[in-house]
Structure 1
Amino acid sequence: MRLYFKYLSILFKSQMQYRTSFWLLTLGQFFIPFSVFAGLYFMFERFGQVKGWSFYEVTLCFAVIHLSFSLSECFSRGFDAFSSLARNGEFDRLLVRPRSTALQVLGSKFEFTRFGRLIQSSFVLVVALIHLPIAWNLAKVFTLILMVSSGVMIFTGIFILAATLCFWTIEGLEVANIFTDGGREMAQYPLNIYQKWVTVFFTFIIPFGCVNYLPMLYILNRADGNEILYMLTPLAGFLFLLPCIVVWQLGVRHYRSTGS
């Protein structure tokens, strides 16, 4: 972890060399998600509710998934940009260093300008929590933190799987965006508004439903059954990350050097 934070410090200092560009990009990242949130607001302004969900309940769902995506995109960007390392032969250098390749790729790139999107998502989360009549206790606070953390793990896992494909395809495949950008857009609404097969896929295969929908039922006192199970469903995000790391290690073993 000392090495990881060293990577973090070096890349932050390098990005701050162009401070005007950094702050303008951060400001742009702050306003970009507002267009999506504005669409959400106008939809509820027109229809009032969506399948029993109020505006602020969906806003909570929106904030959690966008907060998770922002954190993952900021700190896991190295895997998202891995195709350039594989294509240019720069991954060869990582293999001869006495440190984990996953850690080195993770520390190869950080997008600190994504803090703008992070701040916007945090603002939306605060607005939702202020307007929702939630009886907070320690367990619900823990569940909310777990929801965001789990979302980060899922998005990071998808970035890792997309990077692993580069060992065979060289270039990153746009199909991965179906599960990152597409997953983010889909998961910003409660899963029960979709068809059953969508709900099943994004609960048991890619567990976005375990990030916000199921634990949110517990926070809103709408859980039907054992509340502890609803509270702990975000752990599925951490479990999802484990096979992604195994697949990454498999890809590393099949990597063939460029010879450069």
Structure 2
Amino acid sequence: MVLYFKYLSILFKSQLQYRASFWLLTFGQFFIPFSVFAGMYLMFERFGELRGWTFYEAALVFAVIHLAFSLSECFARGFDMFSGLIASGGFDRLLVRPRSTALQVLGSQFEFTRFGRLLQSAIVLVWALAKLPIDWNAPRAVTLALMVACGVLIFTGIYMLFATLCFWTVQGLEIGNIFTDGGREMAQYPLDIYKKWVTVFFTFVIPFGCVNYLPLLYVLGRAHGHPAGYMAMPLAGVLFLLPCLAVWLIGVRHYRSTGS
């Protein structure tokens, strides 16, 4: 982790060399999800509720998934941009270093301008929590923190899976956006508004439901059962990341150098 934070410090300083560009991009990133949230607000303003969900409950769903996505975009950007390392032969350089390739790729790129998107999501989160009559206790607070943290792991795992494809395809595949951007857009609403097969897929295959919808029922006091079960649900993000890392290691073993 010392090496990881060293990477982070170097890249942060390099991006601040162009301060005007950095702050303008950050400012722009603040308003990108704002337009999406405004659309949600107008929808609830017109219809009142969505399948029994109030605006502030849906806003909490929105905030959690966008917060997780923003953090993954910022700190796992190296995997999203991995095709550039393959095409340029830069991955060869990482292989000769005595550190994990996953750690080096993770530290190869950070998008600090995504802090604007992160700030917007945090504001929505605080606003929604302030408006909802939640009976707070330690288990609920821990569950909410795990929802965000494990959501980051799911998005990171998806980035890692599609980065692995670059070992065979060289260039990144746009199909990955179906599960990153598409998954974010889908998971920003409660899962029970979708068809059953969608709910099943995004609960048992890509477990967004386990880090957003199901534990949120407990946080909002809409679920029955032991709190420990709901607290453990976000850990599905860890279980999702582990096979993604295993697939990554398989890809590394099948990598063929560019020879340049």
- Supply the distance in 2 between the matched residues of 1:220 and 1:74 (Cα, whole angstroms): 29
CA contact 1:79–1:160 (8 Å) conserved in 2: yes
**Match of residue 251 from structure 1:** 251
**Partner SS for 1:228:** helix
CA contact 1:67–1:148 (8 Å) conserved in 2: yes
**Match of residue 153 from structure 1:** 153
Shift of 1:208: 0.2
Shift of 1:230: 1.8
- Supply the distance in 2 between the matched residues of 1:227 and 1:253 (Cα, whole angstroms): 42
**Partner SS for 1:102:** helix
Shift of 1:210: 0.6
- Supply the distance in 2 between the matched residues of 1:251 and 1:177 (Cα, whole angstroms): 20
- Supply the distance in 2 between the matched residues of 1:132 and 1:4 (Cα, whole angstroms): 38
**Match of residue 233 from structure 1:** 233
**Match of residue 74 from structure 1:** 74
Residues 196-254 of structure 1: CA distance to partner in whole angstroms, max 9, x if unpaired?
A: 00000000000000111000000011113333212210000111000000000000000
Q: 1:121-132 to 2 correspondence within 5 Å?
A: 121-132=121-132
Residues 38-79 of structure 1: CA distance to partner in whole angstroms, max 9, x if unpaired?
A: 000000001100000000000000000000000000000000
CA contact 2:49–2:55 (8 Å) conserved in 1: yes
CA contact 1:223–1:230 (8 Å) conserved in 2: no
CA contact 2:139–2:227 (8 Å) conserved in 1: no
**Match of residue 19 from structure 1:** 19
Question: Deviation above 2 Å: which 4+ runs of structure 1?
Answer: 224-228
CA contact 1:56–1:128 (8 Å) conserved in 2: yes
**Match of residue 92 from structure 1:** 92
**Match of residue 193 from structure 2:** 193
Q: 1:198-237 to 2 correspondence within 5 Å?
A: 198-237=198-237
Shift of 1:81: 0.1
Count of residue pairs brought into register by the alignment:
260
Structure 2: stretches of 5+ with no match in the other structure: none
Structure 1: stretches of 5+ with no match in the other structure: none
CA contact 1:166–1:172 (8 Å) conserved in 2: yes
- Supply the distance in 1 between the matched residues of 2:144 and 2:224 (Cα, whole angstroms): 18
- Supply the distance in 2 between the matched residues of 1:137 and 1:60 (Cα, whole angstroms): 17
Q: 1:96-175 to 2 correspondence within 5 Å?
A: 96-175=96-175
**Partner SS for 1:233:** helix
- Supply the distance in 1 between the matched residues of 2:257 and 2:9 (Cα, whole angstroms): 30
- Supply the distance in 2 between the matched residues of 1:90 and 1:231 (Cα, whole angstroms): 41
**Partner SS for 1:240:** helix
TM-score between the two structures when normalised by the length of structure 2: 0.99
**Match of residue 60 from structure 1:** 60
For 1:9, the aligned partner's letter is S
**Match of residue 3 from structure 1:** 3
CA contact 2:85–2:91 (8 Å) conserved in 1: yes
**Partner SS for 2:109:** coil
- Supply the distance in 2 between the matched residues of 1:14 and 1:34 (Cα, whole angstroms): 28
**Match of residue 178 from structure 2:** 178
